[in-house]
Amino acid sequence: MLTNIRPKDTDELYATPILQQTAFWSAVKSSLGANTIAINFTSRKSDLLLATSNQPAIISDVLIILQQIDRYHTVAYVPYGPELEPADELQGMFLEELSESLRSYLPKSCILIRYDLCWESYWAKEKDNYDENGVWRGEPDSPTQEFRFNFNTHNWNFKKAHSNILPANTVYLDLTLNRETLLKKMKPKTRYNIGLSHRRGVIVKAMGLEGIDVWYELYKETAARNHILLNDLKYFEAVLTARADETRSPADVSLLIAEKEGKPLAAMFLVITKHRASYLYGASSSGQRNLMATYALQWEAICRSKVAGCTEYDMFGISPSPDPHHPLFGLYKFKSGFGGEIFHSLGCWDYPLQKELYTLFRASELNSQGYHLS
């Protein structure tokens, strides 16, 4: 199924709409001290898509981030990769072969490969998994997921991770539509709030590193309000300052700040890779929420993305369903209001390379004593 497997410079990672599989993302992670590697591979199209005709080969690649979890051991993390997505029946087999092929290029201290898959969930493709209102019922328990994912593999090694790292549920907007159509597809309240924010004098401007302190103050306020883990300032500085312009997969990053009369109200990172724009991080003030600054901010990001030639906009992260008890329910309400299509991916899957050590690692994660991957 796979041939011509070889390492290459991360600058040679192919252009892709998946931010986390670009040379730019490698540069971000490298600046924060992580080791990154890129692997090239070739597949026959007929092996991946169950095609019967003699189809040409597909050349693809994958970005791997090596993370030290203690003094002696590492984990290979593949964020939203690989991009190449086989037919459902062949996904486990393909990923098993890829994993065994990658083994020789990874440190001997590596105990597992964790794939944060952006492939669409099997259970999101089946009508029976939606209720009468079109709301997704979610995935079955882990053993059921593992049985289906490992079907057709040789060794049945894949394990569903206890939790996902990157968002497994998102909303995509179709930016090939004109602005009037985009507005019409929104929920009435969302459309009204965009207009309201403009009428109340909210403006949005783009900034670079000079706006990082403004961003971080809003971010700290948001983290405290929502009881979320606070990332260091240096993490966001890395995203703003990383450069991959001379590579095959660069990215364009903007820090957008919504304000009124010079007072910052909301901010976000807008990142463009190939034809996709992504709302990567967001923050807002607890005050003057009646100005609806977050709505003005998103609409400005959408409009900028269209001007840049993007064909889709990734809202990046919601709860899997409109469950008011889910911690991301607020994001579901806000982001789904913009009228896009909800997408559910398979999330994180582990391929153990050292089974005994992997068992210990898995137990430590379950007990929240161990390692945090990012």
In whole numbers, what is the pLDDT of the chain averaged over residues?
A: 94
Q: Which residues have CB under 8 Å from 78's CB, separation 6+?
A: 62, 63, 64, 65, 113, 114, 115, 116
Are 92 and 150 in contact by the 8 Å Cβ rule? The answer is yes
CA 201 to chain centroid, in Å, comes to 33
Domain edges within the chain: 2-166+345-366, 176-310
pLDDT higher than threshold 60 for residue 226:
yes
For 169-216, the pLDDT digits (tens) are 999 999 999 999 999 999 999 999 999 999 999 999 999 999 999 999
How many CA atoms within 13 Å lie on the side-chain side of 271? 29
For 151-174, what is the mean pLDDT?
A: 96
pLDDT higher than threshold 90 for residue 13:
yes
**pLDDT band with cut points at 50, 70 and 90 for residue 52:** low
**pLDDT band with cut points at 50, 70 and 90 for residue 54:** low
Cβ neighbours of 102 (radius 10 Å) = 22
pLDDT higher than threshold 90 for residue 57:
no
CA 112 to chain centroid, in Å, comes to 20
Q: What's residue 372's pLDDT?
A: 40
The helix/strand/coil state of 255 is strand
Q: What's residue 368's pLDDT?
A: 64
- Please indicate whether residue 19 or residue 57 has the higher confidence score (pLDDT): 19
Q: Which residues have CB under 8 Å from 175's CB, separation 6+?
A: 182, 277, 302, 305, 306, 310, 311, 312, 313
CATH T-level assignment (fold) for domain 2-166+345-366: Aminopeptidase (3.40.630)
For 80-93, what is the mean pLDDT?
A: 95
For 256-299, the pLDDT digits (tens) are 999 999 999 999 999 999 999 999 999 999 999 999 999 999 99
Ramachandran assignment for 297, one of left (phi > 0), alpha (psi -120 to 50 degrees), beta (any other): alpha
- Residues 45 and 178: their CA atoms lie apart, in Å, by 35
Q: What's residue 370's pLDDT?
A: 43
Tokens found for residue 235: 């993490």
Which pTM was predicted? 0.94
- Residue 349: which H helix or E strand, with range? strand 341-352
Q: What's residue 25's pLDDT?
A: 98
Radius of gyration in angstroms for the set of CA atoms belonging to the chain, rounded to a whole number = 21
Could you give the angle at which helices 233-241 and 212-226 cross, rounded to 10 degrees?
Answer: 130
In this structure, what DSSP letter does residue 127 have? G
CATH class as words, domain 176-310: alpha beta
In this structure, what DSSP letter does residue 80 have? T
- Residues 56 and 253: their CA atoms lie apart, in Å, by 35
Fold match between 2-166+345-366 and 176-310?
Answer: yes
- Cis check for the bond before 82: say yes or no (omega within 30 of 0): yes
For 111-149, the pLDDT digits (tens) are 999 999 999 999 999 999 999 999 999 999 999 999 999
**pLDDT band with cut points at 50, 70 and 90 for residue 53:** low
3-state secondary structure 137-189: CCCCCHHHHHHHHHCCCCCCCCEECCCCCCCCEEEEEECCCCHHHHHHHCCHH
Are 95 and 115 in contact by the 8 Å Cβ rule? The answer is yes
pLDDT higher than threshold 50 for residue 89:
yes
Q: What's residue 373's pLDDT?
A: 37
For 14-35, the pLDDT digits (tens) are 999 999 999 999 999 999 999 9
**Across 214-311, where does the E strand assignment appear?**
252-260, 263-273, 276-284
Cβ neighbours of 351 (radius 10 Å) = 23
For 308-366, the pLDDT digits (tens) are 999 999 999 999 999 999 999 999 999 999 999 999 999 999 999 999 999 999 998 88
pLDDT higher than threshold 90 for residue 167:
yes
Q: What's residue 308's pLDDT?
A: 98
